Amino acid sequence: MNTSPIESWEGAEAYFTFADKPAVMMLFLLLAVAITAGTIIIAAVHEKHAYNNH
């Protein structure tokens, strides 16, 4: 069962969204770092608070 809409790879091209805009790529990187760091910090605060309650 082949459900791919692609029948041939001839003439295929690659499209890289924002590849030519380094500022947007940096914004995405900084956003990912902020989300990751925020998650770690919030989890650490929660764990410390939960541990202190017992």
Chunked in runs of 10, what are the mean pLDDT values of the chain (54 residues)? Answer: 70 74 93 98 95 81
| pLDDT for residue 5 | 75
Domain span holding position 44: 14-54
Q: How many domains does the structure of the chain reveal? A: 1
Tokens of 43: 């989890």
Tokens of 33: 């770092």
Rounded Cα–Cα distance for residues 18 and 29 (Å): 12
* Matching residue, tokens 């001839």: 10
pTM for the model stands at 0.62
The answer to the question of residue 42 being in a domain is: yes
The answer to the question of residue 48 being in a domain is: yes
Rounded Cα–Cα distance for residues 15 and 27 (Å): 20
> What is the DSSP-derived secondary structure letter of residue 53?
T
* Residue 30 near residue 38 (C-beta atoms within 8 A): no
* Residue 18 near residue 24 (C-beta atoms within 8 A): yes
The answer to the question of residue 44 being in a domain is: yes
